[in-house]
Amino acid sequence: MGQFSLYNTIRIERERGTPVYLQIVNALIKEVQLGKLRPGTKMMGIKSLATLLPTVL
């Protein structure tokens, strides 16, 4: 199973008031629903992922 790149699909909005982890979870759910993220896809931990994603201030 291949690696999935989220760097261009998920943006963290720190001013939004929604915790970062929930923004990531919601974005992952959306990617699954769209068929872009498939079962068995390898991913890094949520804390590591949060530090790498683009942030909107």
The tens digit of pLDDT for each residue in 39-52 reads: 788 887 877 777 77
pLDDT for residue 55: 64
pLDDT for residue 45: 81
pLDDT for residue 1: 42
Q: Give me the phi and psi of 55, to 5 degrees please.
A: -115, 135
Looking at residue 14, the DSSP 8-state letter turns out to be G
Q: What pTM does this model have?
A: 0.67
The tens digit of pLDDT for each residue in 2-38 reads: 445 665 677 778 787 888 889 888 988 888 888 888 8
